Structure formats: structure tokens, C-alpha cells
Amino acid sequence: MTDQHFAAIVSKSEELAKTRPAYYQRKLWLLAVLGNLYLAAVLLTMIALQAVLLFVIVQEVMATGRIGWQVVFCIAALILTIWAVLEPVLVKKDKLKPEPGILLTRKQAPELFALTDALCRQINAPRVRRVVITDKFNAGVEQLPRLGIFGWYKSNLVLGLPLLKCMTVEQFKAVLAHELGHLARGHGKTKHRIHQQQLRWTELAEILSADLRGFLFSPFLKWFVPYFAACSFPLARMNEYEADAASVRLVSKGAAVEALSASNVIDKYLQEHYWPQVHQLADQQPEPVAPYLAMGRNLAAEVDAAWAMHWVAEDMKIQTGPTASHPALQDRLKALQATPRLVLPAAGENAEGLLGSALQAVTEQMDREWQDKNRAWWVERYQRGQNNRRQFAELNARVASGAELTVEEAYQRAQLTWSVGRNEEETLRQLLALYQRAAQHPLASFGLGAWLLNRGAAEDGQVLLEQTMRLDEGFTARCCEMLRDYCWRNGREEEAHGWHEKIEAHCV
């Protein structure tokens, strides 16, 4: 199925869900039943063929009076046939394992479990018995089916430590209520079950795509899975809206709006600011730091307010795509009849205290795992940083003595002025002086162009990078990559694709 065909079915299904909701749900149930009937038909057909063979062999036994190896073989083949059909639609043992993380007990975090139990009772959801803490800025309920597409789910609550450290208690409660809202019995139960069926069929198709038994199912699944996914796609969005409504009902509208408004901003802050700052410490410290211990101590003071509001505004411009399972922020807030409200936790206001006595142990374990995983590159970067500092000192000493640096050395000194000295003003001054001195040297135009592109003078930076490519084709890939990434970060996707095509053309 092509992307255009998939999007067309999604659009048609959305219209049907709005205008004829009862008919739409009946259609989805019939599709789910059709899939199960196909599995039953394959199983019964295989059993029937084996039964016919067994009947012929039994007749032979009755005629000869001897039970030969053929009977034993046929019975074994019958059992293997049944298992060959059933096994892929059931969940394998490795599929039942929860997401990797740190298992939390009720004794360690009684407040968190009490909150979870209370929310489950309020929305008539099954009790969550396992809580797993991960290193991701995320939260979710992991539903693991014991019987594959036939269901019988057990639920695990998966919580990211960064989420607990970077949201207020009320915001975290709103996120938790949203996730548990997906488990609610009653009003949303039918839609949730259908959506779970669709997800399991998708997993089944992935399992069988590399399986020898795929020939039994692939002709049917090749049509059924994408069609069922497209038809049921609107349910994913409905589930998100209903979970948002549950969050408002169980906690508060204010907390739900704050959580929605802050989620993407915090995620971007961690990826674009916090983690790069942690990595930069490798230039100065020989051993890896403990990043999770310091995370979110005073987010309200750490995050630049203007930068944060800019990202909220950017998030509000995003439209819900035709194949996006999660509605865009503007649509979710519109459904709540609310406008964005960004509130970040000040010191002592985050939700990490809900982990109780486990907080210190969980944080220390995650820090140890992160340090062990990243120690090799950290030490390498530290040693490289030491070398950079020595080179920086040598170049500065030569300039102080009146020696004239080559273009390559002057470019290197400007780069070290930023990477080692962190002096933005002096770096720009050196790059400008280098360009004035050697405007036709590709390294001079590249250095200044790259600096300007990412620091508020994008048009001038682009002109200089284009000049660099004309001066030396060897810079083409690097310049196009910078321009592509800049356009992509700033929502200029068409231009980004254009620069990417130039990279591919150059590398051919």
C-alpha cells in the first residue's frame, strides 16, 4: 500500500468516525473478526489435511493389524502443524519482558503506588502491579498480551526518571492520569481493544516477515494489516483525546495544560542544552560526571524563558499530519478549550520525591550505568581537550610574540577560542579578521559562514558557504550538510531536502 493510498483511507475513516461513529466501530470489529477467522481457517485447513492423512493410515493399520511408524509420524506432524500455526500469533517469552529499566517495589515508593492505585480506581482501570524506571523522558503503560492477538493483557507502568525530575508533582500526576486513562474500562474500552488488536496484527506481520511459516499468512496479511491500520488510525487520536480528558477529570485542567505545554520544551532542552553541556564537561574533567543527579534541580532557572516560549510557539504551529497517531499540541489544547501555559519546576518542586526511598538508589544506578557506557569516549575527549588546550596556548603565545599565523593556523585558533576559551565575541572577531585577510581562501569563508549560519545571520552565512563550495568542491558535502540541518531545525523542510539531494549528487 502506498503512502498516498494509506493517507486516503485514514482520511475517509476519520470522516466516517465523525459522521457515523457506531457504523465505524462495527466496521472495525468486523475487520478484527475477519482476521481471527482467517487464522482459524488456516488452522482448521491444516488440521483437516492431517486428519485425512491420519484416517488413511489408520485404515491401513486396521487392515494389517500393525501400528507402524507412519501413525506416530502423522500424530507428531499434526501436533507440530497446530503449533506452527498458533505459535506466531501467541506472544513469545521474550515479548513478555518489560522494557529494560529499574524495577520499583511498593515498599520503596509507597506514595507513587498509592497515587497510581487511586487513579486506577477512579477510572475503573486494572491495577498496575509493576513500575519500571527508565532513563527516557517519557511515560507509558506497557500492555503485554499473554495470548498474542487474542489479548489477556498484563500492564506495566514505565516512567522515565528525567520526567520525574523535570516536571512538577501536579504536572506529573496529569501525565500519569493520561497514561492510565488508556486502560480505562467503560466508555473507551471498545476503541481501546480495537486499537490493541491493530497493534498486535502489525507485530504479527513483522514477526512473520522473516519466518518460514510466512507463506501461510503473508498473502492475507499483506493486504489486511495496512488496511486495518489505516481504518483504525483515527482511534489512536481518539484515545489521546480521551486520555487528555481523563487527565483533566482526575487531576486538573491547569496541570494537564501545563504538562502538554512543557513536554516538548523540556525534551528539547534536555537534548539541545542539558546533554551537550554534560558532554562539554569532558573537556575539563578526566572522569564522567553523574548527569542524572544534577538533572532538573532548578529547571525554571536553567531554561531560558525566551527560548522556551519560542519553542512553545513553534509547537503551536505544527499541524496534525494525516498519518500522525498523536494529535498536534494545538489540536489537543483546542479540545481542552485552553491556550498554552508553560510552567517549569523551581528548586524542590519536581516530582522525584514520589520515588521515596528508591530515589537515591535509582539515580545512582542510572548514573553508574551512564558512566560505564560513556567512559571510553569521555576519556578520549578529555585527552583531546588537553591537547587542544596546549595547542591553544602555543598559538596564543606565537600571536603575542608577533608571529603571523598561516590561514590554517588562524582558523584553528579561532575554533579553539570557542571550544576551549568559550569566548564568542573573540571567536567572531578572529573569523572576521581571517576572512578580511584571505577572502578567497575556502577555509576563511567556511569558518565565518558556519559561525554566522548558526548565530543569527543565516543569510550571510549561507552566502559564504555557497562561496566556499565554489572555491573548493571538497567542502561541498560539509557545507550542504550544515545548510540542510539548519533548514531542518527551522522548519524549512523543502529547502532541507534540496540540500540533502545536493549531498547525494555530490557523493555519487
pTM of this structure: 0.72
Is 60 exceeded by the pLDDT of residue 182? yes
Sheet-wide strand order for 153-160:
102-104, 130-134, 153-160, 139-145
For residues 270-294, average pLDDT? 93
Q: Is residue 445 part of a domain?
A: yes
Report the C-alpha gap between 40 and 34 in whole angstroms.
10
H/E stretch holding 334 reads helix 329-335
- 178-209 burial, b at 16+ Cβ within 10 Å, e below that, comes to bbbbbbbeeebeebbbbbbbbbbbebbbebbe
Per the structure block, which three cell numbers stand in for 353?
520525591
Report the C-alpha gap between 201 and 196 in whole angstroms.
9
- 384-403 burial, b at 16+ Cβ within 10 Å, e below that, comes to ebeebbeebeebeeeeeeee
Give pLDDT, residue 82. 64
Q: Is residue 438 part of a domain?
A: yes
Q: Is residue 54 part of a domain?
A: no
| Weakest-pLDDT range from 87-96, 188-197, 242-251, 410-419 | 87-96
Q: Is residue 476 part of a domain?
A: yes
- CATH number at 443 reads 1.25.40.10
Report the C-alpha gap between 5 and 12 in whole angstroms.
11
For residues 479-485, average pLDDT? 94
Give pLDDT, residue 186. 47
Mean pLDDT of the chain: 84
List, in order, residues 6 or more apart from 427 with CB less than 8 Å away: 414, 415, 417, 418, 421, 451
Total domains in the fold of the chain: 1
Alpha helices in 161-303 (DSSP H): 161-166, 169-181, 189-209, 218-250, 253-269, 275-280, 291-294, 299-302
E strand spans, 96-152: 102-104, 130-134, 139-145
CA within 13 Å, CB half, 271 = 8
Alpha helices in 87-216 (DSSP H): 110-122, 161-166, 169-181, 189-209
Of residues 183 and 148, more confidence is placed in 183
Q: Is residue 368 part of a domain?
A: no
- Domain coverage including residue 419: 404-507
Give the length of the chain. 508
Residue 87's pLDDT band (cuts 50, 70, 90): low
Nearest Cα to 168, choosing from 405, 345, 289?
345
Is 90 exceeded by the pLDDT of residue 271? yes
Q: Is residue 210 part of a domain?
A: no
Residue 322's pLDDT band (cuts 50, 70, 90): confident
Q: Is residue 231 part of a domain?
A: no
